[in-house]
Structure 1
Amino acid sequence: MLLASALGVFLSEPQWFTRWLAPLTDNGAPAIYDRDSLWRLALAHLLLVVEASAIGGGAAIAAAVIVTRASAADFLPIARSIANIAQTFPPVAVLALAVPALGFGAKPVLFSLTLYGLLPVFESTLAGLQRIPDATREAAFGMGMNAWQRLWQVELPLAGPVIFHGVRLALVINLGTATIGSTVAASSLGDVIIAGLQTSNTAFIVQGAIVIAALAVLIYEGLGLVALWRWPAR
Protein backbone atom coordinates (compact mmCIF):
# COMPACT_ATOMS: atom_id res chain seq x y z
CA MET A 1 0.00 0.00 0.00
CA LEU A 2 2.84 2.39 0.83
CA LEU A 3 4.56 1.66 -2.48
CA ALA A 4 1.32 2.16 -4.41
CA SER A 5 0.71 5.49 -2.68
CA ALA A 6 4.27 6.67 -3.32
CA LEU A 7 4.01 5.68 -6.99
CA GLY A 8 0.70 7.49 -7.35
CA VAL A 9 2.18 10.66 -5.86
CA PHE A 10 5.24 10.45 -8.10
CA LEU A 11 3.16 9.99 -11.24
CA SER A 12 0.78 12.80 -10.28
CA GLU A 13 3.26 15.33 -8.91
CA PRO A 14 6.75 14.36 -10.13
CA GLN A 15 8.05 17.89 -9.59
CA TRP A 16 7.88 17.30 -5.85
CA PHE A 17 10.86 14.94 -6.27
CA THR A 18 13.06 17.39 -8.16
CA ARG A 19 15.42 17.95 -5.24
CA TRP A 20 16.32 14.24 -5.13
CA LEU A 21 16.77 13.85 -8.88
CA ALA A 22 18.52 17.15 -9.60
CA PRO A 23 21.95 15.87 -8.49
CA LEU A 24 21.76 13.32 -11.30
CA THR A 25 21.66 15.99 -14.01
CA ASP A 26 24.40 18.08 -15.62
CA ASN A 27 24.55 21.59 -17.08
CA GLY A 28 21.13 22.64 -15.86
CA ALA A 29 19.26 19.82 -17.59
CA PRO A 30 15.71 19.19 -16.33
CA ALA A 31 15.46 16.63 -13.55
CA ILE A 32 11.85 15.66 -14.26
CA TYR A 33 10.69 14.27 -17.59
CA ASP A 34 8.19 16.81 -18.95
CA ARG A 35 7.73 15.86 -22.61
CA ASP A 36 4.62 13.89 -21.72
CA SER A 37 2.54 12.98 -18.68
CA LEU A 38 4.05 10.15 -16.65
CA TRP A 39 0.52 8.99 -15.86
CA ARG A 40 -0.33 8.72 -19.54
CA LEU A 41 2.89 6.89 -20.34
CA ALA A 42 2.35 4.48 -17.43
CA LEU A 43 -1.21 3.70 -18.58
CA ALA A 44 -0.07 3.22 -22.19
CA HIS A 45 2.71 0.93 -20.95
CA LEU A 46 0.31 -1.16 -18.88
CA LEU A 47 -2.18 -1.38 -21.75
CA LEU A 48 0.49 -2.80 -24.05
CA VAL A 49 1.49 -5.35 -21.42
CA VAL A 50 -2.06 -6.45 -20.58
CA GLU A 51 -3.10 -6.79 -24.23
CA ALA A 52 0.00 -8.78 -25.20
CA SER A 53 -0.20 -10.97 -22.10
CA ALA A 54 -3.89 -11.71 -22.73
CA ILE A 55 -3.26 -12.71 -26.35
CA GLY A 56 -0.10 -14.68 -25.64
CA GLY A 57 -1.49 -16.24 -22.47
CA GLY A 58 -4.66 -17.39 -24.20
CA ALA A 59 -2.68 -18.89 -27.07
CA ALA A 60 -0.23 -20.62 -24.72
CA ILE A 61 -2.97 -22.12 -22.56
CA ALA A 62 -4.85 -23.36 -25.62
CA ALA A 63 -1.68 -24.90 -27.07
CA ALA A 64 -0.83 -26.63 -23.79
CA VAL A 65 -4.33 -28.04 -23.49
CA ILE A 66 -4.22 -29.38 -27.05
CA VAL A 67 -0.85 -31.13 -26.71
CA THR A 68 -1.88 -32.78 -23.43
CA ARG A 69 -4.73 -34.56 -25.21
CA ALA A 70 -3.84 -38.10 -26.27
CA SER A 71 -4.76 -37.38 -29.90
CA ALA A 72 -2.24 -34.50 -30.16
CA ALA A 73 0.53 -35.70 -27.84
CA ASP A 74 2.93 -36.08 -30.77
CA PHE A 75 2.87 -32.28 -31.25
CA LEU A 76 4.20 -31.55 -27.75
CA PRO A 77 7.90 -31.34 -28.78
CA ILE A 78 7.02 -28.97 -31.65
CA ALA A 79 4.89 -26.73 -29.44
CA ARG A 80 7.57 -26.63 -26.76
CA SER A 81 10.24 -25.76 -29.32
CA ILE A 82 8.15 -22.89 -30.70
CA ALA A 83 7.59 -21.51 -27.19
CA ASN A 84 11.29 -21.79 -26.39
CA ILE A 85 12.33 -20.08 -29.62
CA ALA A 86 9.85 -17.26 -29.01
CA GLN A 87 11.36 -16.71 -25.56
CA THR A 88 15.00 -16.81 -26.62
CA PHE A 89 14.68 -14.70 -29.78
CA PRO A 90 15.64 -11.13 -28.79
CA PRO A 91 12.57 -8.84 -28.66
CA VAL A 92 14.54 -6.09 -30.43
CA ALA A 93 15.15 -8.46 -33.34
CA VAL A 94 11.45 -9.36 -33.44
CA LEU A 95 10.63 -5.65 -33.59
CA ALA A 96 13.09 -5.11 -36.42
CA LEU A 97 11.42 -7.89 -38.41
CA ALA A 98 7.86 -6.86 -37.51
CA VAL A 99 8.09 -3.13 -38.30
CA PRO A 100 8.29 -3.57 -42.11
CA ALA A 101 5.12 -5.67 -42.02
CA LEU A 102 3.16 -3.92 -39.25
CA GLY A 103 4.54 -0.39 -39.34
CA PHE A 104 5.62 1.76 -36.43
CA GLY A 105 3.59 2.08 -33.25
CA ALA A 106 1.96 -0.39 -30.90
CA LYS A 107 1.34 -3.30 -33.32
CA PRO A 108 4.93 -4.58 -33.63
CA VAL A 109 5.37 -4.19 -29.87
CA LEU A 110 2.25 -6.23 -29.19
CA PHE A 111 3.53 -8.90 -31.56
CA SER A 112 6.93 -9.00 -29.86
CA LEU A 113 5.53 -9.08 -26.32
CA THR A 114 2.99 -11.75 -27.26
CA LEU A 115 5.77 -14.05 -28.45
CA TYR A 116 7.95 -13.24 -25.45
CA GLY A 117 5.24 -14.17 -22.97
CA LEU A 118 4.36 -17.56 -24.45
CA LEU A 119 6.88 -19.78 -22.67
CA PRO A 120 6.04 -19.10 -18.97
CA VAL A 121 2.31 -19.64 -19.53
CA PHE A 122 2.78 -22.66 -21.81
CA GLU A 123 5.14 -24.44 -19.42
CA SER A 124 3.06 -23.67 -16.34
CA THR A 125 -0.13 -24.89 -18.02
CA LEU A 126 1.67 -28.01 -19.17
CA ALA A 127 3.01 -28.67 -15.67
CA GLY A 128 -0.36 -28.05 -14.05
CA LEU A 129 -2.21 -30.41 -16.37
CA GLN A 130 0.41 -33.15 -16.35
CA ARG A 131 0.55 -33.38 -12.57
CA ILE A 132 -3.16 -34.18 -12.23
CA PRO A 133 -3.38 -37.82 -11.09
CA ASP A 134 -4.81 -40.28 -13.58
CA ALA A 135 -7.12 -41.49 -10.83
CA THR A 136 -8.77 -38.06 -10.76
CA ARG A 137 -9.44 -38.16 -14.50
CA GLU A 138 -10.76 -41.72 -14.23
CA ALA A 139 -13.08 -40.69 -11.41
CA ALA A 140 -14.45 -37.83 -13.52
CA PHE A 141 -14.93 -40.25 -16.42
CA GLY A 142 -16.69 -42.66 -14.09
CA MET A 143 -19.08 -39.88 -13.08
CA GLY A 144 -20.18 -39.63 -16.70
CA MET A 145 -18.30 -36.46 -17.67
CA ASN A 146 -17.35 -36.07 -21.30
CA ALA A 147 -13.95 -34.76 -22.43
CA TRP A 148 -14.97 -31.09 -22.34
CA GLN A 149 -16.57 -31.40 -18.93
CA ARG A 150 -13.46 -33.09 -17.54
CA LEU A 151 -11.30 -30.29 -18.94
CA TRP A 152 -13.40 -27.34 -17.72
CA GLN A 153 -14.70 -28.76 -14.46
CA VAL A 154 -11.77 -30.86 -13.27
CA GLU A 155 -8.45 -30.37 -15.06
CA LEU A 156 -8.28 -26.58 -15.50
CA PRO A 157 -9.54 -25.81 -11.97
CA LEU A 158 -6.96 -28.18 -10.47
CA ALA A 159 -4.19 -26.75 -12.66
CA GLY A 160 -5.36 -23.19 -11.98
CA PRO A 161 -2.75 -22.18 -9.36
CA VAL A 162 0.16 -23.30 -11.53
CA ILE A 163 -1.30 -21.66 -14.66
CA PHE A 164 -1.89 -18.43 -12.75
CA HIS A 165 1.73 -18.39 -11.62
CA GLY A 166 2.84 -18.56 -15.26
CA VAL A 167 0.51 -15.70 -16.21
CA ARG A 168 1.85 -13.68 -13.29
CA LEU A 169 5.42 -14.28 -14.40
CA ALA A 170 4.64 -13.43 -18.04
CA LEU A 171 3.08 -10.11 -17.00
CA VAL A 172 6.19 -9.08 -15.08
CA ILE A 173 8.51 -10.15 -17.91
CA ASN A 174 6.47 -8.18 -20.44
CA LEU A 175 6.32 -5.17 -18.14
CA GLY A 176 10.08 -4.79 -18.35
CA THR A 177 10.35 -5.76 -22.01
CA ALA A 178 7.70 -3.24 -23.11
CA THR A 179 10.21 -0.42 -22.64
CA ILE A 180 11.67 -1.27 -26.06
CA GLY A 181 8.41 -0.14 -27.63
CA SER A 182 9.62 3.44 -27.59
CA THR A 183 12.21 2.56 -30.22
CA VAL A 184 9.39 2.05 -32.73
CA ALA A 185 7.23 5.01 -31.67
CA ALA A 186 4.94 3.15 -29.27
CA SER A 187 4.15 5.25 -26.19
CA SER A 188 5.46 3.66 -23.02
CA LEU A 189 7.64 4.38 -20.03
CA GLY A 190 10.53 3.54 -22.30
CA ASP A 191 10.13 7.09 -23.66
CA VAL A 192 11.55 8.40 -20.39
CA ILE A 193 14.52 6.02 -20.35
CA ILE A 194 15.37 6.52 -24.01
CA ALA A 195 15.15 10.30 -23.62
CA GLY A 196 17.63 9.99 -20.77
CA LEU A 197 19.99 7.89 -22.87
CA GLN A 198 19.79 10.28 -25.79
CA THR A 199 20.55 13.35 -23.65
CA SER A 200 22.85 11.65 -21.11
CA ASN A 201 20.34 12.60 -18.41
CA THR A 202 20.64 10.07 -15.62
CA ALA A 203 17.64 11.56 -13.80
CA PHE A 204 15.32 10.54 -16.65
CA ILE A 205 16.76 7.03 -16.74
CA VAL A 206 16.39 6.60 -12.97
CA GLN A 207 12.81 7.85 -12.79
CA GLY A 208 11.72 5.68 -15.70
CA ALA A 209 13.40 2.62 -14.19
CA ILE A 210 11.92 3.32 -10.75
CA VAL A 211 8.37 3.58 -12.09
CA ILE A 212 8.70 0.35 -14.07
CA ALA A 213 10.25 -1.48 -11.11
CA ALA A 214 7.50 -0.23 -8.77
CA LEU A 215 4.80 -1.35 -11.20
CA ALA A 216 6.43 -4.77 -11.51
CA VAL A 217 6.54 -5.24 -7.74
CA LEU A 218 2.94 -4.06 -7.30
CA ILE A 219 1.61 -6.30 -10.05
CA TYR A 220 3.57 -9.35 -8.91
CA GLU A 221 2.62 -8.95 -5.25
CA GLY A 222 -0.95 -7.96 -6.09
CA LEU A 223 -1.47 -11.06 -8.19
CA GLY A 224 0.14 -13.07 -5.40
CA LEU A 225 -2.60 -11.84 -3.06
CA VAL A 226 -5.22 -12.77 -5.67
CA ALA A 227 -3.75 -16.27 -5.85
CA LEU A 228 -3.86 -16.62 -2.05
CA TRP A 229 -7.48 -15.50 -2.03
CA ARG A 230 -8.49 -17.76 -4.92
CA TRP A 231 -6.44 -20.79 -3.89
CA PRO A 232 -5.85 -20.48 -0.13
CA ALA A 233 -3.14 -22.70 1.32
CA ARG A 234 -4.44 -25.80 2.99
Structure 2
Amino acid sequence: MLTEEDFARFKEFRCTAMGNKLREIIDDPAYDSMTFEEKVKEMIDAQVNAKVTNKIQKLNKAAGFKLADACVEEIVYLPERKLSKDRITRLASCKWVEDNEVVVIISKTGCGKSYVAQALGNAACRNLHSVRYRRLADIFADLNQARAACDGSYYERIDEFKTVKVLIMDDFMTTPITTENAIDLFEILEAREGTGATLIASQLEPDEWYLRIEGELMADSILGRTGSTARYLDLDGPNMREYFAKKKQEEEASTN
Protein backbone atom coordinates (compact mmCIF):
# COMPACT_ATOMS: atom_id res chain seq x y z
CA MET A 1 0.00 0.00 0.00
CA LEU A 2 1.26 3.46 -0.88
CA THR A 3 2.05 5.81 2.01
CA GLU A 4 2.15 9.60 2.19
CA GLU A 5 5.92 9.34 1.91
CA ASP A 6 5.48 7.55 -1.41
CA PHE A 7 3.18 10.29 -2.70
CA ALA A 8 5.64 12.93 -1.47
CA ARG A 9 8.28 11.41 -3.74
CA PHE A 10 6.21 12.38 -6.80
CA LYS A 11 6.66 16.01 -5.77
CA GLU A 12 10.34 15.40 -5.07
CA PHE A 13 10.74 13.97 -8.58
CA ARG A 14 8.73 16.92 -10.01
CA CYS A 15 5.84 14.70 -11.06
CA THR A 16 3.21 16.19 -8.75
CA ALA A 17 0.37 15.95 -11.27
CA MET A 18 1.12 12.27 -11.84
CA GLY A 19 1.03 11.63 -8.10
CA ASN A 20 -2.26 13.52 -7.73
CA LYS A 21 -3.79 11.50 -10.56
CA LEU A 22 -2.62 8.25 -8.96
CA ARG A 23 -4.26 9.27 -5.69
CA GLU A 24 -7.46 10.01 -7.62
CA ILE A 25 -7.32 6.63 -9.38
CA ILE A 26 -6.93 4.84 -6.02
CA ASP A 27 -9.76 6.76 -4.34
CA ASP A 28 -12.30 6.83 -7.19
CA PRO A 29 -14.13 3.53 -7.95
CA ALA A 30 -14.84 4.82 -11.46
CA TYR A 31 -11.28 3.87 -12.39
CA ASP A 32 -11.62 0.24 -11.18
CA SER A 33 -12.71 -1.03 -14.57
CA MET A 34 -9.61 0.38 -16.30
CA THR A 35 -6.65 -1.81 -17.20
CA PHE A 36 -3.24 -1.14 -15.69
CA GLU A 37 -2.04 0.38 -18.96
CA GLU A 38 -5.05 2.71 -19.13
CA LYS A 39 -4.39 3.92 -15.59
CA VAL A 40 -0.73 4.58 -16.41
CA LYS A 41 -1.84 6.49 -19.52
CA GLU A 42 -4.13 8.65 -17.35
CA MET A 43 -1.19 9.46 -15.08
CA ILE A 44 1.10 10.32 -17.98
CA ASP A 45 -1.53 12.55 -19.60
CA ALA A 46 -2.09 14.37 -16.31
CA GLN A 47 1.63 15.13 -16.01
CA VAL A 48 1.93 16.27 -19.63
CA ASN A 49 -1.13 18.52 -19.32
CA ALA A 50 0.23 20.05 -16.12
CA LYS A 51 3.57 20.83 -17.77
CA VAL A 52 1.84 22.46 -20.74
CA THR A 53 -0.38 24.50 -18.43
CA ASN A 54 2.64 25.68 -16.44
CA LYS A 55 4.45 26.67 -19.61
CA ILE A 56 1.45 28.63 -20.88
CA GLN A 57 1.23 30.47 -17.57
CA LYS A 58 4.92 31.38 -17.75
CA LEU A 59 4.59 32.56 -21.36
CA ASN A 60 1.53 34.63 -20.46
CA LYS A 61 3.33 36.26 -17.53
CA ALA A 62 6.43 36.99 -19.62
CA ALA A 63 4.29 38.60 -22.34
CA GLY A 64 3.53 41.56 -20.09
CA PHE A 65 -0.13 41.88 -21.02
CA LYS A 66 -1.95 44.84 -19.51
CA LEU A 67 -5.13 42.75 -19.67
CA ALA A 68 -3.88 39.36 -18.53
CA ASP A 69 -7.32 37.75 -18.80
CA ALA A 70 -8.03 38.93 -22.36
CA CYS A 71 -9.06 35.93 -24.47
CA VAL A 72 -10.72 35.32 -27.82
CA GLU A 73 -13.62 33.50 -26.15
CA GLU A 74 -14.70 36.76 -24.49
CA ILE A 75 -14.58 38.98 -27.59
CA VAL A 76 -17.98 40.56 -28.24
CA TYR A 77 -19.25 40.43 -31.82
CA LEU A 78 -21.67 43.32 -32.10
CA PRO A 79 -22.89 43.87 -35.69
CA GLU A 80 -21.63 47.44 -35.75
CA ARG A 81 -18.09 46.35 -34.81
CA LYS A 82 -17.65 44.77 -38.25
CA LEU A 83 -15.71 41.99 -36.55
CA SER A 84 -15.90 38.47 -37.96
CA LYS A 85 -15.83 35.60 -35.47
CA ASP A 86 -14.58 33.29 -38.21
CA ARG A 87 -11.64 35.57 -38.86
CA ILE A 88 -10.76 35.85 -35.18
CA THR A 89 -10.94 32.06 -34.93
CA ARG A 90 -8.51 31.73 -37.84
CA LEU A 91 -6.11 34.24 -36.29
CA ALA A 92 -6.38 32.46 -32.92
CA SER A 93 -5.21 29.23 -34.59
CA CYS A 94 -1.88 31.07 -35.01
CA LYS A 95 -1.17 30.11 -38.62
CA TRP A 96 -0.16 33.75 -39.16
CA VAL A 97 2.34 33.35 -36.31
CA GLU A 98 3.84 30.22 -37.83
CA ASP A 99 4.09 32.03 -41.18
CA ASN A 100 5.77 35.07 -39.56
CA GLU A 101 3.19 37.52 -40.85
CA VAL A 102 2.22 41.06 -39.83
CA VAL A 103 -1.30 41.75 -38.57
CA VAL A 104 -2.53 45.33 -38.18
CA ILE A 105 -5.59 46.20 -36.06
CA ILE A 106 -6.95 49.69 -36.65
CA SER A 107 -9.75 51.43 -34.77
CA LYS A 108 -10.57 54.67 -33.06
CA THR A 109 -10.07 55.00 -29.31
CA GLY A 110 -12.32 52.80 -27.20
CA CYS A 111 -13.32 50.30 -29.87
CA GLY A 112 -11.38 47.48 -28.23
CA LYS A 113 -8.31 47.07 -30.43
CA SER A 114 -6.02 46.61 -27.41
CA TYR A 115 -8.25 43.87 -26.01
CA VAL A 116 -8.37 42.03 -29.34
CA ALA A 117 -4.58 42.36 -29.73
CA GLN A 118 -3.95 40.93 -26.26
CA ALA A 119 -6.54 38.19 -26.76
CA LEU A 120 -4.67 37.08 -29.88
CA GLY A 121 -1.44 37.28 -27.90
CA ASN A 122 -3.00 35.04 -25.28
CA ALA A 123 -3.95 32.59 -28.05
CA ALA A 124 -0.32 32.58 -29.19
CA CYS A 125 0.79 31.74 -25.63
CA ARG A 126 -1.69 28.85 -25.59
CA ASN A 127 -0.01 27.62 -28.76
CA LEU A 128 3.31 27.78 -26.87
CA HIS A 129 4.74 30.80 -28.70
CA SER A 130 6.76 33.45 -26.85
CA VAL A 131 5.02 36.85 -26.84
CA ARG A 132 5.86 40.41 -25.82
CA TYR A 133 3.17 43.07 -25.51
CA ARG A 134 4.31 46.71 -25.35
CA ARG A 135 3.05 50.13 -26.26
CA LEU A 136 5.36 51.54 -28.93
CA ALA A 137 6.22 54.49 -26.67
CA ASP A 138 7.25 52.06 -23.91
CA ILE A 139 9.50 50.14 -26.30
CA PHE A 140 11.30 53.37 -27.15
CA ALA A 141 11.50 54.36 -23.47
CA ASP A 142 13.12 51.00 -22.65
CA LEU A 143 15.61 51.34 -25.50
CA ASN A 144 16.44 54.97 -24.75
CA GLN A 145 17.09 54.18 -21.10
CA ALA A 146 19.30 51.22 -22.01
CA ARG A 147 21.16 53.29 -24.61
CA ALA A 148 21.85 56.04 -22.06
CA ALA A 149 23.22 53.50 -19.59
CA CYS A 150 26.12 52.71 -21.96
CA ASP A 151 26.53 49.27 -20.39
CA GLY A 152 25.60 47.07 -23.31
CA SER A 153 22.06 46.53 -22.08
CA TYR A 154 20.71 48.31 -25.17
CA TYR A 155 21.69 45.36 -27.36
CA GLU A 156 20.04 42.91 -24.97
CA ARG A 157 16.81 44.92 -24.95
CA ILE A 158 16.58 45.40 -28.71
CA ASP A 159 17.45 41.73 -29.31
CA GLU A 160 14.48 40.75 -27.14
CA PHE A 161 12.15 42.68 -29.45
CA LYS A 162 13.88 41.27 -32.52
CA THR A 163 13.77 37.61 -31.54
CA VAL A 164 10.53 37.04 -29.60
CA LYS A 165 8.17 34.95 -31.71
CA VAL A 166 5.22 37.36 -31.43
CA LEU A 167 5.77 41.09 -30.88
CA ILE A 168 2.62 43.12 -30.18
CA MET A 169 3.07 46.88 -30.51
CA ASP A 170 0.08 48.82 -29.19
CA ASP A 171 -0.68 52.54 -29.65
CA PHE A 172 1.47 52.41 -32.77
CA MET A 173 2.54 55.86 -34.01
CA THR A 174 0.22 57.65 -31.61
CA THR A 175 2.86 60.36 -31.25
CA PRO A 176 5.75 61.45 -33.53
CA ILE A 177 9.00 59.50 -33.13
CA THR A 178 12.57 60.74 -33.38
CA THR A 179 15.03 59.69 -36.05
CA GLU A 180 16.92 57.64 -33.45
CA ASN A 181 13.81 55.72 -32.46
CA ALA A 182 12.77 55.37 -36.09
CA ILE A 183 16.09 53.60 -36.65
CA ASP A 184 15.37 51.36 -33.63
CA LEU A 185 11.98 50.44 -35.09
CA PHE A 186 13.45 49.78 -38.51
CA GLU A 187 16.11 47.50 -37.00
CA ILE A 188 13.45 45.54 -35.09
CA LEU A 189 11.17 45.15 -38.10
CA GLU A 190 14.06 44.30 -40.43
CA ALA A 191 15.27 41.56 -38.06
CA ARG A 192 11.77 40.14 -37.64
CA GLU A 193 10.99 39.92 -41.34
CA GLY A 194 10.52 36.23 -42.13
CA THR A 195 11.54 35.15 -38.61
CA GLY A 196 8.85 36.49 -36.29
CA ALA A 197 5.20 37.51 -36.26
CA THR A 198 4.27 41.12 -35.52
CA LEU A 199 0.91 42.52 -34.42
CA ILE A 200 0.33 46.27 -34.59
CA ALA A 201 -2.62 48.07 -32.97
CA SER A 202 -3.15 51.67 -33.98
CA GLN A 203 -5.67 54.48 -34.09
CA LEU A 204 -4.16 55.68 -37.36
CA GLU A 205 -4.14 54.40 -40.91
CA PRO A 206 -0.71 53.56 -42.39
CA ASP A 207 -0.67 56.69 -44.54
CA GLU A 208 -0.88 58.69 -41.28
CA TRP A 209 2.06 56.80 -39.76
CA TYR A 210 4.24 58.40 -42.40
CA LEU A 211 3.64 61.80 -40.82
CA ARG A 212 4.88 60.58 -37.42
CA ILE A 213 8.32 59.46 -38.63
CA GLU A 214 11.28 61.80 -39.04
CA GLY A 215 13.06 61.22 -42.32
CA GLU A 216 11.44 60.27 -45.61
CA LEU A 217 13.78 57.36 -46.32
CA MET A 218 13.30 55.85 -42.86
CA ALA A 219 9.52 56.31 -43.10
CA ASP A 220 9.48 54.48 -46.44
CA SER A 221 11.58 51.65 -45.01
CA ILE A 222 9.33 51.19 -41.96
CA LEU A 223 6.10 51.36 -43.94
CA GLY A 224 7.48 48.92 -46.48
CA ARG A 225 7.85 46.32 -43.70
CA THR A 226 4.43 46.86 -42.17
CA GLY A 227 1.80 48.40 -44.39
CA SER A 228 2.30 46.68 -47.73
CA THR A 229 2.19 42.99 -46.77
CA ALA A 230 0.11 43.05 -43.58
CA ARG A 231 -3.27 41.54 -42.85
CA TYR A 232 -5.68 44.26 -41.73
CA LEU A 233 -8.40 44.07 -39.13
CA ASP A 234 -10.53 47.25 -39.03
CA LEU A 235 -12.70 47.64 -35.96
CA ASP A 236 -15.66 49.98 -35.75
CA GLY A 237 -18.71 50.34 -33.58
CA PRO A 238 -19.41 51.71 -30.10
CA ASN A 239 -16.98 52.63 -27.34
CA MET A 240 -16.53 49.23 -25.68
CA ARG A 241 -15.61 50.71 -22.30
CA GLU A 242 -18.94 52.51 -22.24
CA TYR A 243 -20.71 49.39 -23.55
CA PHE A 244 -19.41 47.18 -20.73
CA ALA A 245 -20.00 49.87 -18.09
CA LYS A 246 -23.62 50.19 -19.22
CA LYS A 247 -24.04 46.41 -19.36
CA LYS A 248 -22.71 46.08 -15.81
CA GLN A 249 -25.12 48.75 -14.58
CA GLU A 250 -28.03 46.97 -16.24
CA GLU A 251 -27.03 43.61 -14.71
CA GLU A 252 -26.71 45.16 -11.24
CA ALA A 253 -30.08 46.88 -11.64
CA SER A 254 -31.78 43.62 -12.65
CA THR A 255 -30.52 41.84 -9.52
CA ASN A 256 -31.71 44.57 -7.13
Larger strand fraction of residues? 2
| TM-score normalised according to structure 2 size | 0.23
Higher relative contact order (CA 8 A, sep 6+): 1
Q: Radius of gyration: which is bigger?
A: 2
Larger helix fraction of residues? 1
